[in-house]
Amino acid sequence: MAVNVVVACGSGIATSTVVEQRLKDIAEDNNLDINLKKTSISGLEGMLADADLVVVTSRYSNDDVKVKILSGTSLLTGIGEDIFIDKFVEAVKEIKK
């Protein structure tokens, strides 16, 4: 069963598209079975019910959210990218258990 990952950015178009492609590459490199969906930060609330993991490129805070949220900014800047990849792979594997 695939892990449902939602990628959210300010508009749901620009940076989420870049991050989505990077996550596809990371999943392929690490043999991870994921389904990716994109949205805007404002549309994220409506997609949380079906999400196993969320990756955001802009600020997002909601104490009621029960799924893990990771900042994917490092996939855009390259700063801390290896750390993000490790956290992402670990999170997906943990969800699969």
Tens-place pLDDT, residues 6-52: 999 988 788 989 999 999 999 999 999 999 999 999 999 999 999 99
What was the pLDDT predicted at 12? 78
23 found inside a domain: yes
> pLDDT band at 59, cuts 50/70/90?
confident
62 found inside a domain: yes
Distance, CA of 24 to CA of 16 (rounded, Å): 12
Helices 14-29 and 81-96: angle between axes, nearest 10 degrees: 70
Phi-psi region of 12 (alpha: psi -120 to 50; beta: other; left: phi over 0): left
pTM above 0.85, yes or no: yes
3 found inside a domain: no
CATH of the domain at 78: 3.40.50
Helices (H), the chain: 14-29, 74-77, 81-96
4 found inside a domain: no
* Domain with 57 in it: 10-96
Among candidate residues 64, 68, 41, 42, the one with its CA nearest the CA of residue 53: 68
Tens-place pLDDT, residues 63-92: 677 899 999 999 999 999 999 999 999 999
Total tally of structural domains belonging to the chain: 1
2 found inside a domain: no
63 found inside a domain: yes
